[in-house]
Each structure stands twice: as C-alpha cells, then as structure tokens.
Amino acid sequence: MRNIDCRGMRCPLPIIMIAERIKNEEPGSRVILLSDDPATWPDLQAWGRMQSHFVNQIDEITFEVTA
C-alpha cells in the first residue's frame, strides 16, 4: 500500500493529488492519503461519490482510497 503525504497542503491540492495517483493504480488497489486540511474528509467523500471510488477515514488525518 502506498502513501501520499499532503500534510500542510490546503484544498483542493490533496484531492488533486489523490486523483492523479489513483489514475495509475490497478482497480481494487488501495492508497493511503495523509492530510490535515479540514476540507479533505468532506471533499474526499464527495469526490469518491462523483468518481466511483470507495473512501474510508482511518483517523483524523489518515484516509484510505480504493482505486
């Protein structure tokens, strides 16, 4: 499982970075996103709904995204 560290970045950068990364992943593989921006969790959920990716919050700044 690979990590993307977006700590210290503001919206929409964490979402842009996860979207770029997920394009190159095999369907079903998982990527961990680290982000401390308060908009990340609501935006990640909306992005997952729009782009058909499963997203999960592990702790306050750790999120799991399924390609």
Is the CB of 1 or the CB of 10 nearer to other proteins?
A: 10
Q: Does 60 bind other proteins (CB under 8 A)?
A: no
Find the shortest distance in angstroms from Cβ 10 to other proteins.
7
Contact at 8 Å (CB) between 10 and 37? yes
Contact at 8 Å (CB) between 4 and 17? yes
**Alpha-carbon distance 33 to 40, whole Å?**
10
Tell me if residue 6 is catalytic. no
User: Which residues of this protein are in contact with other proteins, per CB under 8 A?
Assistant: 10-12, 15-16, 19, 38-39, 42-43, 45-47, 49-50
Which residues are designated catalytic? 11
